[in-house]
Structure 1
Amino acid sequence: MIEKIHIYHTNDLHSHFENWPRISRFLSERKRQHEVAGEEVIFLDLGDFVDKWHPLTEGSKGKASVPLLNEVGYDAVTIGNNEGITFSHEELDTMYKEAQFDVVVANLYTKKGQRPKWVKPYIKKKLKSGFTFAIIGITAYYEHFYQLLGWKMTPPLDELKKVLDDITDVDGIILMSHLGIRDDEWIATEHEVIDVLLGGHTHHLLPNGKVIHQSLLGAAGKYGYYIGHVQLSIDTSTNTIVNKTATVYKTEDLEEKKQDQKLINDWMEQGKSLLNKEVVKLKNGLKGDWFNPSPLTQLLCDAIHHWTKADCTFINSGLVLGDLPQGSITQYHIHSLLPHPINPCAVTLTGAELKEVIKQSLNPELPQLQLKGLGFRGQVMGNIVYKGITIGESINDLSINGEKIELHREYRLGTTDMFTFGHFFPELKRAKKTYYMPEFIRDVFSWELKKHHS
C-alpha cells in the first residue's frame, strides 16, 4: 500500500505579516483536505520567522509570533539568526514559552554547554502507518554573536554529524536547515541518509526542489512570498520512500478575504500600542536628511561615538528614516525612525588603516547606493557622517580630534556592525572588533536623546 505524506514548509518570513493571513488559511485548509483523504501532514518553519522591523515583533519581544504558529498547527520550527542574535538572552530563552510545537536546534547550547530546556536536537514523528521520521534542526554559525549574548554555538556541520550518528530506529530523516543553499548542497552530497532537506537563510527559491544524491532539497524564498510543499509516497509494506516531489505556491495567487487587511492592520496597531511608551519630550522637532547635514543623523553618530567610547566615529545617514516631531516621543517613533536590527561596534585600527577607511568613505558613489541586507531596512546609503574626524583639502590633511593622524598609532573607530562584514570597508572586516549586544542603534540613540532633551 502507498501512503501519501505532505510536508509544508515556510522560511524567512521576517515578520512580513501582510502575507500571513493567506498563508495560514491555505495551510489550515490543506490540513483539513489531507486529513479527510487519510493523508499525513507535517508543518515546519526553517527560521527567521520573526524580524524586529515590525512593531509587533519589537513590542512583544518575538512572542506574538508563537500564537500564529500554534493556530496553524506547526509541528516543529528551527531558529534563524533573527531569533538567535537580535533578542537578548532572556528574550530568546522565554520566546517559545507558550509554543505548542517543538523548537529543534542541534547546535545551540547554554554557556555551560547544556541544551536549553526549550530546545531539542531532533524529534521523532511516528505516522499512523508506523513510518517514523527524525526531524533535525540546525542554524547558522554566528558563534561570536551568540557568545556575547550568553549562548554557546557549535559548528552546525559537526553537530549534524553527531546527531545523525545518534539517531536510530527511524525510517526517514528530514533536516530543517537555516544555513543557506551552499551548505545545504554540501550536506546533501556528504549525507545521503537525509531524505528531505528544507532550507532557508539565503532566501533561495527552489520552485520544483532539487535532487542531490538521495536528498530532495526544498526552499521557499523569503517574506512569505511562497509556501513550500514536499510530497512523499511511502510503501507501507517496506516502510520506504518510493517517490519524492517538491513544489511551491505563490502567496499572492491565493485568495484574499475581506478580513485579511483588518488582521494585518490589527497586528500593526498592537505593535504600536506595545511601543506607546514615552522616551522624551522635544521642545522642537528634529529633522533627518540623507544628503545634507541634519541634527538627527549627527545625534545618532554622537550616540554611537559615546556608547562605544570611540576616538572617532562614522555612520551613514541613510540609517535615519524620517524626522522626529515636536512633543512626546515614544518608543514607536524611534522604532519607525531606526527599524534596523543593527548593533553599535568599535573597531581598532592603525592610523594608516583608519586613513584608508576614511578615504573609502569619501567615494562619491556611496550616498546614492541602494543598500539591501546586512540588517539595513532603509533605501539608500546616504552621506557619511563623522564625529572626531576632520578632512582638510585632501585625505592627506586628516585630523582625529584636532590632531594630525599618526599612521602607526592605534585608534578606536565607532560605527555600525553592518560596516564590519567587508562589503564596503575590507579593513573593518579584518580588524579587531567589539560588538555591543543586545543593544541596537535605536537603543543607544534613545539613550543619547534622553541626555540632551530630558
Structure 2
Amino acid sequence: MSAIVPITIYHTNDLHSDLTQWTSAVSYLKAQRRFHDKKKETSLFFDIGDHTDRSHVVTEATRGKGNVELLNEAEISHVTIGNNEGITFSRQELGNLYEKANFKVLLANLFDEQGKRPEWVLPYDVIETKEGIRLGLIGITIPFYPFYNELGWDIQDPLMLLPGILEEVKAQSDIIVLLSHMGLDYDEEIAESFPDIDVILGAHTHHLLKEAEIINQSLVAQCGKNAYYVGQVNLEFDTEKRELVSKKGYAVDVSHEPPSPETAGLLRRLETEAVAEMHEEIARIPSALPVSWTEPSPFADLLAEGLRDWCQTDLALINSGLLLESLAPGPVTKEDIHRLCPHPINPAVIEVSGAVLKESIHAAYTQKMIHLPLKGLGFRGIKLGVLAFSGITIEMGTAGEDALVKKIKIQGTDIENKKMYRVAAPDMFTFGPLYPGLSQTKQKKYFMPEMMRDVLQFILEKKYS
C-alpha cells in the first residue's frame, strides 16, 4: 500500500544582516519546527546566502561569525553563500567564517587557485528522512569573476558544472533541491535546462514570489530580502511509486511575528560585544569635518584625497553620498568609521579617455544624479550626492536648475579628450548604469577586500593621528 509522505522545506535568503528582523523570522521557524516535530513530519531549514552584510556592526566586528552564531541558534541545516559572503571578506576570513558552524555549506562552483574546493564546502549533500526518502541538495552562487579572482579564488560557471554534479546526485537521490544564489533569471534558465531538479530555492535578485512558479519540471521559489518573508515548500512523496507527486511553494509574511526571546538575547550579546570591539580610537581631529550631498565639502574632499593616495593615481573622484554624516571634532573610533561609511564598496582604478571622464563629470552635476536615491551596487546611503575630486578642478556656472561645468582641469592643465587617465573611484562606478562611460571601460582594477571605509580610516590616521 502506498503512503504519501509530506516533507516541508523552509528557506530564507538575502537577510543582509537585518538582524532585528531575523529575530521575528526565527520565531516563525521555531514554531514551524515544533509543529512538524509534534506530527513526526520531516521539516528542513535552509539559508540561500547573503545572510551577512558588513554594513551592520555585528557582521563587521565579528567578520560574519556573529551571523553564523545566529544561524546555529536557528538550527539551519544547510546554506549556500552569496556575494556578501564570497567577496566582502578576505580569503582567510571566508575560510574562517564557518569554522564553528553547526550546518553544512553547499557550494559547487568555488575552487582555490589549485583547482581544489576549500575544505569548508561540499558541492552537494544527500540526506535521508526516517521514511527512507533521499534528498540531494546542491549549492551554487553567482560567479562575480573579477572580484573572486582578485581575492585568490577560482569561481566557475555553475551551469557548466551542473550536468556532472546532477549525474552524481541523481544516482543517490529521490528528490533534488538546488540552493541557488544566482538570481531569478538564472534560476529560470536552470529550470529550462535541467528538468531533473525538482526544486530551485533562489536568492540574489530579491524577487518576492508569493507563490512559487513551476517552470518546465522545476518549482522555483524566492522570498524577497531581509527576512520579512520566509519561504515554505510543501512536498509530497509516494513511497511505493518512489516519486514526488506534489510540490507547492509560498512566501509567508513573518514581519509581524513576535521576536524569538532566545534569538533576541543572543543578538543583544553580539551587539554589545561588537560595539566594544569597535570602540578603538584611530584618530583625533581638531575641528569638524562637514559633509554636504549637494555642494563641495571638506569631508568629501578628504575622502577623495585618501582614495587617490591609497590607489596611487593622479586623479580620484567619489560621490559625497558615501559619507552619511559629518565628523565632529575629537576622537574617532572604528565604530564611527563604520557608521559614517558602512557600504560594502571597494576602491577601484579605471583607465578612461578625457572625453569619457568629461562626459561623466557633466552628467554628475545634474540634479537628477545628485539627488538619486540609489539602491543596490553596495550603496547603503540615502542619495548619490555631488562628486568630490582630488587632482581634478572644476570651474562652474549655472544652467537652469542644474550646475553647468564650464571647464575641467587635470593637475592644473585642461582636460584632453583623447588622453587616457588613470582614475581612482568607488567600484560602484565601474558597473551598472550610473556612468556608462566609466562602467564600460575594460581597464579596471579592484582593491579587495578593502572597502571605502578602510580608505577613510587610512586618510584620517595619516592626517590626524
Class of the TM-score when normalised by the shorter of the 2 chains: over 0.9
Query: 1:323 aligned to 322, 326, 343, which one?
Result: 326
Partner of 1:101: 103
Partner of 1:332: 335
Question: How is 1:389-400 mapped onto 2 (pairs within 5 angstroms)?
Answer: 389-392=392-395, 397-400=407-410
What secondary structure sits across from 2:351 in the alignment? Answer: strand
Partner of 2:131: 129
Query: 1:49 aligned to 48, 51, 62, which one?
Result: 51
Deviation at 1:265, TM superposition (A): 4.7
Paired positions, count: 454
Deviation at 1:25, TM superposition (A): 2.1
Deviation at 1:297, TM superposition (A): 1.0
Query: 1:439 aligned to 450, 455, 460, which one?
Result: 450
Using the alignment, how far apart are the partners of 1:41 and 1:259 within structure 2? 21
Partner of 2:281: 278
Q: Is residue 2:335 matched to residue 1:341?
A: no
Deviation at 1:166, TM superposition (A): 2.6
Asked if structure 2 preserves the Cα contact closer than 8 Å seen for 1:54 and 1:271, the reply is: no
Asked if structure 1 preserves the Cα contact closer than 8 Å seen for 2:324 and 2:381, the reply is: yes
Query: 1:295 aligned to 293, 298, 311, which one?
Result: 298
Question: How is 1:70-85 mapped onto 2 (pairs within 5 angstroms)?
Answer: 70-85=72-87
What secondary structure sits across from 2:348 in the alignment? Answer: strand
Deviation at 1:430, TM superposition (A): 1.8
Query: 1:402 aligned to 412, 419, 422, which one?
Result: 412
Deviation at 1:22, TM superposition (A): 1.7
Query: 1:370 aligned to 349, 373, 380, which one?
Result: 373
Q: Is residue 2:180 matched to residue 1:180?
A: no
Question: How is 1:407-422 mapped onto 2 (pairs within 5 angstroms)?
Answer: 407-422=417-432
Query: 1:63 aligned to 62, 65, 71, which one?
Result: 65
Q: What letter corresponds to residue 281 of structure 1 in structure 2?
A: R
Using the alignment, how far apart are the partners of 1:204 and 1:119 within structure 2? 26
Using the alignment, how far apart are the partners of 1:259 and 1:146 within structure 2? 36
Using the alignment, how far apart are the partners of 1:257 and 1:68 within structure 2? 12
Query: 1:262-291 CA deviation, whole Å, 9 max, x = no partner?
Result: 665544333212211111122223222212
- Higher mean Cα deviation, 396-405 or 230-239? 396-405
Asked if structure 1 preserves the Cα contact closer than 8 Å seen for 2:24 and 2:256, the reply is: no
Question: How is 1:241-252 mapped onto 2 (pairs within 5 angstroms)?
Answer: 241-252=244-255
Q: 1:250 to 1:267 in 2, by over 3 A?
A: farther
What secondary structure sits across from 1:5 in the alignment? Answer: strand
Using the alignment, how far apart are the partners of 1:151 and 1:260 within structure 2? 34
Asked if structure 1 preserves the Cα contact closer than 8 Å seen for 2:26 and 2:259, the reply is: no
Using the alignment, how far apart are the partners of 2:233 and 2:135 within structure 1? 14
Using the alignment, how far apart are the partners of 2:329 and 2:359 within structure 1? 40
Partner of 1:192: 195
What secondary structure sits across from 2:211 in the alignment? Answer: strand
Asked if structure 1 preserves the Cα contact closer than 8 Å seen for 2:363 and 2:369, the reply is: no
Using the alignment, how far apart are the partners of 1:4 and 1:256 within structure 2? 28
Using the alignment, how far apart are the partners of 1:265 and 1:290 within structure 2? 33
What secondary structure sits across from 1:205 in the alignment? Answer: coil
What secondary structure sits across from 1:385 in the alignment? Answer: strand
Using the alignment, how far apart are the partners of 1:375 and 1:127 within structure 2? 40
Deviation at 1:169, TM superposition (A): 2.2
Deviation at 1:6, TM superposition (A): 0.7
Using the alignment, how far apart are the partners of 2:412 and 2:164 within structure 1? 56
What secondary structure sits across from 1:106 in the alignment? Answer: coil
Asked if structure 1 preserves the Cα contact closer than 8 Å seen for 2:300 and 2:323, the reply is: yes
Q: 1:210 to 1:367 in 2, by over 3 A?
A: same
Deviation at 1:444, TM superposition (A): 1.1
Asked if structure 1 preserves the Cα contact closer than 8 Å seen for 2:72 and 2:103, the reply is: yes
Deviation at 1:257, TM superposition (A): 6.6
What secondary structure sits across from 2:187 in the alignment? Answer: helix
What secondary structure sits across from 2:34 in the alignment? Answer: helix
**TM-score normalised over the length of structure 1:** 0.96
Using the alignment, how far apart are the partners of 1:160 and 1:93 within structure 2? 24
Using the alignment, how far apart are the partners of 2:413 and 2:195 within structure 1? 62
Query: 1:426 aligned to 436, 439, 447, which one?
Result: 436
Q: 1:49 to 1:365 in 2, by over 3 A?
A: same
**TM-score normalised over the length of structure 2:** 0.94
RMSD of Structure 2 on Structure 1 (CA): 1.6
Asked if structure 2 preserves the Cα contact closer than 8 Å seen for 1:422 and 1:428, the reply is: no
Using the alignment, how far apart are the partners of 1:74 and 1:117 within structure 2? 20
Q: What letter corresponds to residue 455 of structure 2 in structure 1?
A: V
Q: What letter corresponds to residue 416 of structure 1 in structure 2?
A: P
Partner of 2:400: none
What secondary structure sits across from 2:191 in the alignment? Answer: helix
- Higher mean Cα deviation, 21-30 or 248-257? 248-257
Q: What letter corresponds to residue 84 of structure 1 in structure 2?
A: G
Asked if structure 2 preserves the Cα contact closer than 8 Å seen for 1:138 and 1:160, the reply is: no
Q: Is residue 2:39 matched to residue 1:37?
A: yes
What secondary structure sits across from 1:64 in the alignment? Answer: helix
Partner of 2:225: 222
Asked if structure 2 preserves the Cα contact closer than 8 Å seen for 1:56 and 1:274, the reply is: no
Query: 1:113-159 CA deviation, whole Å, 9 max, x = no partner?
Result: 10000011000011111110110000001011001011110012112
Query: 1:2 aligned to 1, 4, 26, which one?
Result: 4
Query: 1:55-98 CA deviation, whole Å, 9 max, x = no partner?
Result: 00000000111121112221110000000000111100100000
Partner of 1:120: 122
Partner of 2:461: 450
Asked if structure 1 preserves the Cα contact closer than 8 Å seen for 2:136 and 2:172, the reply is: no
Asked if structure 2 preserves the Cα contact closer than 8 Å seen for 1:54 and 1:268, the reply is: no
Asked if structure 1 preserves the Cα contact closer than 8 Å seen for 2:25 and 2:255, the reply is: no
- Same amino acid, percent of matched pairs: 41
Partner of 1:87: 89
Using the alignment, how far apart are the partners of 1:290 and 1:379 within structure 2? 10
Asked if structure 2 preserves the Cα contact closer than 8 Å seen for 1:287 and 1:296, the reply is: yes
Q: Is residue 2:309 matched to residue 1:310?
A: no
Deviation at 1:190, TM superposition (A): 1.1
Using the alignment, how far apart are the partners of 2:100 and 2:319 within structure 1? 39
